[in-house]
């Protein structure tokens, strides 16, 4: 897999990783920050069935599958190991777009959080 899948055009040299952890999934999207501060989708995917037969799949900005790994023969990773796996995968494959910031999508913040929060 070529790193060129991740950096089409000029960027400021960094990216923003957006995570969405579900009960047994971890969805992600990596956006490069363009020269005009626009966000350019580079890659996104999902780690699925984290407490059963896990699977990792990622697509580039054009929707082409760049990774599809079935982890059924391994122990269920859970969320902590899935996040470690994702960061390692991004570091190996998207070295031209280092992660500068991470955001997490939270669906229900309960009565305490009703707006975006740091």
Backbone torsion region of residue 21, taken as left when φ is above 0, otherwise alpha when ψ lies between -120 and 50, otherwise beta: beta
Q: What is the pLDDT of residues 19-59, one digit of tens each?
A: 999 899 999 999 988 888 888 899 999 999 999 989 999 99
Distance CA(9)–CA(88), nearest Å, equals 24
Q: How far is CA 11 from CA 7, 39, 44, 106, in A?
A: 8, 9, 18, 28
Phi, psi values for residue 84, rounded to 5°: -60, -45
pTM, entire model: 0.78
């Amino acid at each position: 897999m070529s790193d060129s899948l991740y950096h089409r055009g000029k960027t400021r040299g960094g990216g923003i990783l957006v995570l969405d952890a579900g009960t047994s999934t971890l969805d992600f999207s990596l956006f490069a920050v363009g020269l005009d501060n626009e966000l350019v989708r580079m890659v996104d995917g999902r780690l699925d069935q984290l407490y059963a037969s896990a699977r990792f799949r990622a697509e580039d900005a054009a929707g082409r599958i760049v990774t599809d790994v079935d982890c059924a023969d391994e122990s269920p990773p859970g969320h902590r190991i899935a996040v470690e796996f994702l960061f390692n995968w991004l570091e190996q494959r998207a070295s031209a777009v280092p992660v500068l910031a991470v955001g997490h999508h939270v669906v229900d913040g309960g009565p305490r959080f009703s707006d975006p929060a740091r």
